[in-house]
Structure 1
Amino acid sequence: MLQSRHPPSPAPQRFPRSQGYLDADEKRATAISGDIRKHHFPEALKINNVEWNLLIVITLLAFGIRLFRLSQPNSVVFDEVHFGKFASKYIMTQYFVDVHPPLAKLLITLVAFIRGYDGSFDFKEIGKVYPDNVPYTSMRMLPALLGVGVVPLAYLTLRQLRCGVTTALVGSLFILFENGFITQSRHILLDSPLVFFTALAVFCWVSFTNEDREHSHAFTEEWWLWLTLTGLSLGAVVTTIIQLWYLLGDLRVTPRMFIKHFLARALCLIVLPIFFYMAMFAIHFQILQSSGDGDGFMSAPFQHTLSGRGMSDTYADGGYLHSHDHAYPGGSHQQQITLYPHQDENNLWQITHPYEEESLQFIKNGDVVRLEHVTTKKRLHSHSLRPPVSDVDFQNEVSGYGFAGFSGDANDNWAVEIEYGDGRDRESGTRLRSLHTTFRLRHVLTGCYLFSHKVRLPEWGFEQQEVTCNTNAVKPNSLWFIETSTHPQCELRIPGFFAKFWELQQVMWTTNAGLTDKHVYDSRPYSWPFLQRGINFWVKDHRHIYLLGNPFVWWLSTSSVAVYAVARVVLVLRQKRGFQDFTNSRINKYDSLCGFLAIGWALHYLPFYLMQRQLFLHHYFPSLYFAIMLTAALFDFFFGTLRSRVRLQVGLVLILLVMYNFFHFSSLIYGNVWTRGQCESAKWIKDWDFSW
């Protein structure tokens, strides 16, 4: 069917207990050297019952804040339009394409399925009220619970990094009261799962590193457990390369032992994550076995793996090249050619070569072809007669012409002009490929182009769209593509899992890169660390849900990144000048610790500068997690040697400032009713575009 397409190392040192980050069984600290310990974190501290009780209280508080009034609002919020709809499609098994991997969507769908959701709600627009049969609160519960999980993970990670209790408390409470994390976790969105699995990967990697610190711990059950969990929570590839490099320089590590370390890391941090990633797509394909609105993104062989794979009716601006056994009432009185928006056997055409016998040939740019209507055996034809409706000099009639025994004439000849391929098929720009190639058809004798527009034929043409041959054709209205194609000498190869997986990765990549249209709430990466603009999620009756971070947390964490970057540059310059700062074990410890967190921040943030697609504030959230952890590490460096009471007082001041910011902007989290004065007092930056 042819379809129209529109558009140096000192001796070990002991730290005094008053420094606050060593316990009663304090271990030696390592200084900078070629030793593997340079890039390992010290052994983890044992957390006592008092700390566990503290952690339970913090976690319960996170539950309360993130689950408070979770059912409100009772209507679609922001990108619930997309991710709620995807859950519906999973349940209905209808194929769709999304630029995000399927794990989080599958988890949300599982919750909905367990609650008995039948997939009937369309999540069509923001503000659409949820009917009783949509378990939207339960679907929101999954991101909310994962958002809760980030809080204790932050605490435990900081303790595993040998930061003090106060430091871990400060870091976890910063995350607990971070408005942006809270808002994003209370809706059917994917960012909360992303931040959770990022935090889990960091915690597992640090726990593994603590086990790996002593060579005697290598390849124990706990060692394998943490390494495997790191891989399952997406690994730490860059850090692994650094660690293996220092293992290679450790003379205590024999070549055989190095190979064992290498293979273990390759298995758990490369093979296992890839296997897990692909397994999610295997589940994805297993569920989505029916045709859906994502079919058009995929190749014809891929579509043949879907049941009910017939294409849906076309979009309003286009249609199928169509003919039927009815003649024009005027002009040539030959068979009508129209544009028809629905599936029909009269949309089928056979493409042949005008001068050669029928054989398997690829149609290339510039080839001359004929199109024969399969049902009526008439050929697509044009001549110098005016069309019945658009009776102007630059328009020619297009008709179906021919009869038994007639081999056709020159007016049946059309030249193929390939405009572009879609990039997913290498040959789609040089020869016709179903779905992938967009082309024009130029009438050889008259030079006009097969054309259609929104003009409709009268009742005698069944009010279908007019098709003409236009010498001044606007290009968007003269572009076509082939939707389905068959040939007796061509055997369609049904793709297996790996072929489907690879094709979908390419589609996801190109689709993501193609999201370049402007959005009213998009923003660029340079603005994110300064919280220059948020996102309006939902508004009704002077109530707003507006994605805005906790200003104190964001600006302090951004300052922490800057402080570490400046300090690192100064330390390197001083080293060049002969200073021995890196022989100080305390400097060395915090340089490794802060460097680890700063690299995590940069790897999750800087790549966005290479993207031209739509970007939003929530894309910064994984980087924000690392920035907050870096803030806590700097707190430990600056205040860790103070007396416990003073350190706690400083931490309390910071926590109170964070809590003040949280409560000041909490109406934007929960969609509370507020006054005009409260709204205006919350608008600290003019680009925060919420209003009363």
Structure 2
Amino acid sequence: MASDPLRSRRLGDRSLGAASTSTYVAPPAAADAYTSDKPTESAKPSSYASRPRKASLSDDRPLAKASRSRTGTTSWWSRVGGGLDVIQPGENRVLAGLVLLGAVVRYWHIARPSSVVFDEVHFGGYIQSRFFMDVHPPLAKLLITLVAWLAGFKGGQFDFKDIGAEYGPAHVPYIAMRLLPATLGLALVPLAYLTLRALHLRPATALLGALFVLFENGLITQSRFILLDSPLILFTALSAFFWIGFSNENETPRDRHGKVGPFSKRWWTWLTLTGLALGAVVSCKWVGLFTIATVGVFTVLQLWLLLGDLRVPIPLLVRHFVARAICLIAVPVVFYISMFAIHFAVLSNSGDGDGFMSSEFQHTLRGHGMQDTFADVMVGSRITIRHAHTQGGYLHSHPHVYPGGSQQQQITLYPHRDDNNVWLVLNATADPNIPDVETHAPPTPIKDRQTLVFHHPSTHKKLHSHDVRPPVSEVDYQNEVSGYGFEGFEGDANDHWVLEIDQFESAYGGKHAKTHLEALRTRFRLRHMLTGCYLFSHKVKLPEWGFEQQEVTCNKNPSRENALWYIETNEHKMLPLDARKVNYRRPSFLAKFAELQAVMWQTNQGLTDRHAYDSRPSSWPLLLRGINFWVKDHRQVYLIGNPFVWALSTIAVSSFLAIRGLLILRAQRGYKDFANSQVVYYDRVGTFLFAGWFLHYFPFFLMGRQLFLHHYFPALYFALLLLATAFDLATSRLRPRLRLSVALTLIGGAVLAWWYLSPLAYAGVWTRGQCERAKKLGRNWDFSCADFHEKKSDYAPQSAVPTLNCAKPSHEMLPPRDERLGGKAQDYSSGLCGGPLVYGSLADGHHHAPHAAYVQPTAAARLQQSALAVVPDPSLEPQAHESEINPPVLICLGAPPLRGGSGEVAQ
């Protein structure tokens, strides 16, 4: 590539020769920036730098290194540093214009729709201080909760759990809550401009990149609702911006006053801000680790180049290393942990998420503690037994039998406290039919290797196992565990279990807990005396006939942890009141923090089932499909990107790879492309942005969990910046006016595509014909045009007819309840809007809907005109535990009243 004289002169001392020790994102500086921490004489500004002038979007001349106002005073941007001293006063008006335009685009009709949209269902736990389980760190939710609290929302009865539920009747300040992510999305626009200027690209280039971000439909849609991605993307962008600013400061020689350059106040500020931004991004979602990886890679490159520079003394090298370790490792870690400290402080009450956590953790929550219990377990004690490894709960039985196998009474794990969790522990030779068997003999401590019988007082059954395969885990090494016997029956040898105390796991309980059975302190296994198998449970749920409780079996070759049990509560009538008692040990903050991280990881890994609108990473750069957020009242919110901007960004990424590969091949053949400072400069800027795109995109290929289009947005941001960089390079030889014309053409294409698809972002008015024409832009786009009216005049309030609310939160799976719909997977992917019909029951005039399934187009069209279309579904069995419920029905929510009499249903 030939050198452009104007461009080379513009770069001036920023040319990136092969011998430079600069990083991949900043222009180089004098060697003293690396080899010494002593101040140097500031370079005398060039003639053009000393003459203040206005910034021009079409200007090809170099900008002043230190921008000054008309009075000659240094501008605010120059004092900030970080490479922003290239910004001229006239650009402040550009930034203001971007903010105003962005506010219109982001805030337009933000109150619409006035009901819960997509993953807004996940908010509500913080408001009521009830503990809940989420796979994401808490920062983004805490920010939105703070806004809701400042707006006066105290929670009330609104739980955010149902898509389509109206906010109005509950007085939820949803507009204020949505304004936070919208404002963060707005901040992304000027931040993109500043980032590109910090990379020393032209003002026109920075404006183009900012407008690409501004008019990107996917970013707009995602930022208008109470979702986590807007904070995530902003903190990702801030991390990149602060890192670029730090790199620029790191390249600047120290002046005589030590105000600029390495280890100056500005240098430390930019480095610390980078660490705080990294802590914030990973505190929103764990995908923020990709941002940490991006900064980490270039930090290692910086230190590697310093290590190879023999002019850098070892003490100075150590200072550079320690400074980065403190700010880029310690600061993010402390920030991340502090967010969980706030999380625990806010969620201090027992809630829906208790069951995910250990009993020790649950005991720290208000409303979930328990009274002290007797420590020593005696023969004749009434106990509750908990599984030590999974959070399935208590060893449990109830008067329901297995449908196959022995057809004896079910033994399960049940997560809640219940009378059916209580067992009477007896010697194998004891007769449970003796009146008041607990007081028949003096209490005798239970010791290791003792043979025991576990009697279930509620049903008069005994814990029993035999050589019969269990109904779910039908393998040779698993035996069924059942409740067997009846009142007055003495039992048989299949009721005998040998206590085996685990010495290692019981060590923390003390010496006595390793030889005698103690509540809460002893971990033990129960070995079936006749078959040699061990009482066992794992994360396998029984079907509906087992009320979806966790399976319990007798395993001949169990994993160690899944065969461990412990006693939670222990009562005995003969023990004195002053007998030794114990309770759960209160875990430390760090222990709770570590446990929650492990549970979050396990839960995240478990999200492997399909969702109606999930997608794989290979489809994201091509924008093959979006996500249906909300459908109601003949309007729709569908997350889809701006196809014009999206296509250009993908071309830019592909072009960078192709050109970089070509340059490598040319270098191998002896060409001296990298002797050209312009080539090296664009290569280094492009490498940083491409690495940001790659490290935020490629890791998703390694994940087996549910993935959605919005997971691509952080990578898309880097792709848009790379697109702007490609424009800067491609137009570097054009005349300024022509370059501006090209930029305006690209902006026009982005605005046109944004406007064309804007009804999907704003739940706006759209006709069916407009929808069909727009759908031709993407072959696989699966938003439903049948939801829209034929004519815009049909949207008059008097003729508006509600339609099905068919969106679905991302944590729900597809296909739902396949086994209950005939025992095989059914194809619901062609549903009217991919949304759920609901299986439930009618009781007291209200619908109860615990299950969901997808509706096909023909069925949806028939149901579209009915208010509550109820179809009996005999394939569903009652869900209530040990109680009767009303006949299960299929409910289609959200349409006008039926024209028949009250109680009429559509068959």
Q: TM-score, with normalisation over the residues of structure 1?
A: 0.79
User: How far apart are 1:358 and its partner, in Å?
Assistant: 3.9
The partner residue of 1:685 within 756, 773, 778 is 778
Pairing 1:567–2:656 present: no
Q: Deviations over 1:586-612 (max 9, x none)?
A: 100000000000000011000000000
Q: Which one-letter code corresponds to 2:262 in the other structure? A: A
Question: Could you tell me how far apart the structure 2 residues matched to 1:336 and 1:537 are?
Answer: 41
Answer yes or no: is the 8 Å Cα contact 1:370–1:379 preserved in 2. no
The partner residue of 2:272 within 218, 221, 228 is 228
Pairing 1:211–2:211 present: no
The partner residue of 2:302 within 219, 225, 243 is 243
Question: Could you tell me how far apart the structure 2 residues matched to 1:48 and 1:101 are?
Answer: 40
User: How far apart are 1:215 and its partner, in Å?
Assistant: 4.0
User: How far apart are 1:569 and its partner, in Å?
Assistant: 1.0
Question: Could you tell me how far apart the structure 2 residues matched to 1:395 and 1:586 are?
Answer: 74
Question: Could you tell me how far apart the structure 1 residues matched to 2:636 and 2:427 are?
Answer: 63
Answer yes or no: is the 8 Å Cα contact 1:416–1:442 preserved in 2. no
Partner of 2:718: 626
Pairing 1:370–2:356 present: no
The partner residue of 1:321 within 396, 401, 404 is 396
1:631/1:116 CA distance change after superposition, 3 Å: same
Q: Deviations over 1:47-84 (max 9, x none)?
A: 122111011001111011101111100011111111x2
Answer yes or no: is the 8 Å Cα contact 2:411–2:483 preserved in 1. no
Question: Could you tell me how far apart the structure 1 residues matched to 2:772 and 2:312 are?
Answer: 63
Gaps of 5+ in 1: 1-12, 312-316, 325-334, 385-393, 418-432, 457-463, 472-478
Pairing 1:68–2:54 present: no
- Identity over aligned pairs, percent: 49
User: How far apart are 1:302 and its partner, in Å?
Assistant: 1.3
Partner of 1:137: 175
Answer yes or no: is the 8 Å Cα contact 2:216–2:642 preserved in 1. yes
1:560/1:382 CA distance change after superposition, 3 Å: closer
Question: Could you tell me how far apart the structure 1 residues matched to 2:352 and 2:342 are?
Answer: 19
Answer yes or no: is the 8 Å Cα contact 1:34–1:250 preserved in 2. no
The partner residue of 1:485 within 560, 568, 573 is 568
User: How far apart are 1:296 and its partner, in Å?
Assistant: 1.3
Partner of 2:205: 167
Partner of 1:604: 696
SS at match of 1:485: strand
1:353/1:642 CA distance change after superposition, 3 Å: farther
Partner of 1:35: 21
User: How far apart are 1:507 and its partner, in Å?
Assistant: 0.9
SS at match of 1:519: coil
User: How far apart are 1:27 and its partner, in Å?
Assistant: 3.4
1:383/1:439 CA distance change after superposition, 3 Å: closer
SS at match of 2:13: coil
1:480/1:544 CA distance change after superposition, 3 Å: farther
The 5 A counterparts of 1:351-430 are 351=425, 354=428, 358-359=445-446, 361=448, 369-373=452-456, 380=462, 398-399=484-485, 410=493, 412-413=495-496
Q: Which one-letter code corresponds to 2:297 in the other structure? A: V
The partner residue of 2:338 within 276, 279, 282 is 279
User: How far apart are 1:626 and its partner, in Å?
Assistant: 0.3
Question: Could you tell me how far apart the structure 2 residues matched to 1:455 and 1:594 are?
Answer: 59
SS at match of 1:370: strand
Answer yes or no: is the 8 Å Cα contact 1:536–1:545 preserved in 2. yes
Question: Could you tell me how far apart the structure 1 residues matched to 2:272 and 2:413 are?
Answer: 58
Partner of 1:118: 154
Partner of 1:500: 592
Answer yes or no: is the 8 Å Cα contact 1:171–1:628 preserved in 2. yes
Answer yes or no: is the 8 Å Cα contact 1:41–1:593 preserved in 2. no
Aligned pairs, number: 610
User: How far apart are 1:673 and its partner, in Å?
Assistant: 1.6
1:455/1:546 CA distance change after superposition, 3 Å: closer
Question: Could you tell me how far apart the structure 1 residues matched to 2:655 and 2:553 are?
Answer: 66
Answer yes or no: is the 8 Å Cα contact 1:81–1:124 preserved in 2. yes
Partner of 2:614: 522
User: How far apart are 1:278 and its partner, in Å?
Assistant: 0.6
Partner of 1:108: 144
User: How far apart are 1:344 and its partner, in Å?
Assistant: 3.7
Question: Could you tell me how far apart the structure 2 residues matched to 1:381 and 1:612 are?
Answer: 39
User: How far apart are 1:503 and its partner, in Å?
Assistant: 1.0
Question: Could you tell me how far apart the structure 2 residues matched to 1:340 and 1:644 are?
Answer: 72
Answer yes or no: is the 8 Å Cα contact 1:147–1:182 preserved in 2. yes
Answer yes or no: is the 8 Å Cα contact 2:638–2:761 preserved in 1. yes
Question: Could you tell me how far apart the structure 2 residues matched to 1:262 and 1:372 are?
Answer: 65
Partner of 1:424: none
Pairing 1:298–2:361 present: no
Q: Deviations over 1:492-519 (max 9, x none)?
A: 3321111111111111111111101110
Partner of 1:198: 236
Q: Which one-letter code corresponds to 1:233 in the other structure? A: A
The 5 A counterparts of 1:458-469 are none
SS at match of 1:30: coil
The partner residue of 1:558 within 650, 653, 678 is 650
SS at match of 1:640: coil
Answer yes or no: is the 8 Å Cα contact 2:463–2:482 preserved in 1. no
Partner of 1:512: 604
Higher helix share: 1
User: How far apart are 1:372 and its partner, in Å?
Assistant: 3.9
1:340/1:227 CA distance change after superposition, 3 Å: closer
Partner of 2:421: 347
Question: Could you tell me how far apart the structure 2 residues matched to 1:268 and 1:338 are?
Answer: 50
Cα RMSD (Å) of the superposition? 4.1
1:401/1:605 CA distance change after superposition, 3 Å: same
1:484/1:620 CA distance change after superposition, 3 Å: farther
1:291/1:482 CA distance change after superposition, 3 Å: farther
Q: Deviations over 1:392-430 (max 9, x none)?
A: xx9997346579xx9x8636425899xxxxxxxxxxxxx
1:46/1:351 CA distance change after superposition, 3 Å: farther
1:412/1:676 CA distance change after superposition, 3 Å: same
SS at match of 2:629: strand
1:150/1:360 CA distance change after superposition, 3 Å: farther
Q: Which one-letter code corresponds to 1:108 in the other structure? A: I
Q: Which one-letter code corresponds to 1:154 in the other structure? A: A
The partner residue of 2:192 within 135, 142, 154 is 154
Answer yes or no: is the 8 Å Cα contact 2:355–2:415 preserved in 1. no
Question: Could you tell me how far apart the structure 1 residues matched to 2:699 and 2:416 are?
Answer: 43
Partner of 1:98: 134
Q: Deviations over 1:462-507 (max 9, x none)?
A: xx99xxx999xxxxxxx99979725779763321111111111111
User: How far apart are 1:322 and its partner, in Å?
Assistant: 5.4
Pairing 1:128–2:165 present: yes
Q: Deviations over 1:567-592 (max 9, x none)?
A: 11111111111111111111000000
1:229/1:342 CA distance change after superposition, 3 Å: closer
| Bigger RCO (CA 8 Å, 6+ sep) | 1
Partner of 1:54: 94
Partner of 1:475: none
- Which deviates further from its counterpart, 35-44 or 243-252? 35-44
Q: Which one-letter code corresponds to 2:22 in the other structure? A: I
1:113/1:594 CA distance change after superposition, 3 Å: same
Q: TM-score, with normalisation over the residues of structure 2?
A: 0.61
SS at match of 1:97: coil
